[in-house]
Structure 1
Amino acid sequence: MGDFNHPDICWRDNMAGHKQSRRFLECVDNNFLIQVLEKPIRKGDMLDLVLTNKEGLVGNMKLKGSLGCSDHEMVEFRILRAARRAHSKLTTLDFRRADFGLFRDLLGRVPWDKALEGRGAQDSWLVFKDHLLQAQEQ
């Protein structure tokens, strides 16, 4: 968690305008980190980040206002690891029950040329992965 000062990063699309910010994004991706703070908390920019290596590890995030004269807001959050481990069940995919025809059909409906046009390998992978996970949920 901290002030990473990369206002040009679009976390929704995983894109950045400046070289230094693109390198930061690459570092985050290479280390399998996820940025979980959803709302900009400093003058409309997403400068303060909460990074984790596992979805569901950080939760109950609340903005708590400024401390003193700071233009940053305090972020309160909880580490959910211990609680989740005690109550979580291991889930696995049952490939015997999978409808691969539907899966193939759903992925075949995606206009891949258009979806991947002008994207690099990393961005293309993220687009493909998103479509793959959406099809998996059907």
Structure 2
Amino acid sequence: MGDFNHPDICWRDNAAEHKQSRKFLECVDDNFLLQVTEEPTRRDAMLDLILTNKEGLVGDVKLKGSLGCSDRKMVEFGILRAARRAHSKLTALAFRRADFGLFRDLLGRIPWDKALEGRGAQDIWLIFKGHLLQAQE
């Protein structure tokens, strides 16, 4: 959570005008982080961000009024515990029994150029993750 001051970033499209903002987006993507703030926190800009490395870990994000003379909205959020996320489950994989040849073959059949063409980094990650999890099953 923090004030990152990149008003030119469009989080919906994962794009930015300025070089420094594009580097910030690249860092977020390289570290597999998700940005969960959905509304502007200062006028039309989303400056105060909540970054997480796990989907469903942060929730109940609400913007509140300004504190004192600040021109920014306060951001309130909750860290969700496993008990509140009944749909999530932890699975331990038996890597010793894995057929990595089959795994490699399944992933090799995917036409990656077509599947990822014209997509942003976040979409590419979600597509790759989906294929990876499907091959894992």
TM over 0.5: yes
How many residues align structurally?
A: 112
Q: Which runs of 5+ in 1 are unaligned?
A: 93-106
Q: Select the structure with the greater relative contact order (CA < 8 A; seq sep ≥ 6).
A: 2
Q: Is the 8 A contact 2:82 2:88 kept in 1?
A: no
Q: Are the structure 2 counterparts of residues 60 and 14 from structure 1 closer, same or farther at C-alpha, using a change threshold of 3 Å?
A: same
Distance 1:62 1:38 in 2: 9
Instruction: Name the structure with the higher helix share.
Output: 1
| Structure 1 pair 89–60 and aligned structure 2 pair: CA distance change class (3 A) | closer
The equivalent of 1:63 in structure 2 is 63
1:90 maps to 2:79:
no
Which stretches of structure 1, 4 residues or longer, exceed 6 Å deviation after superposition? none
Rounded to whole Å, the distance in 1 between the matches of 2:66 and 2:17 is 29
For structure 2, the residue ranges without an aligned partner over 5 or more in a row are 92-109
Percent identity reads 65
CA contact (8 A) 1:34 1:52 kept: yes
In structure 2, C-alpha distance between the alignment counterparts of 1:29 and 1:80, rounded to whole Å: 23
Seen in structure 2, the aligned counterparts of structure 1 residues 78 and 26 have a Cα distance that, compared at 3 Å, is: same
Verify the 8 A CA contact 1:116 1:127 in the aligned structure 2: no
Could you tell me which residue of structure 2 aligns to residue 116 of structure 1? 117
TM-score scaled by structure 1? 0.66
Distance 1:54 1:127, change over 3 A: closer
Where do residues 1-138 of structure 1 align in structure 2 (5 Å cutoff)?
1-84=1-84, 87-90=86-89, 112=114, 116=117, 123=120, 126-128=122-124
Q: CA deviation at 1:84?
A: 3.9
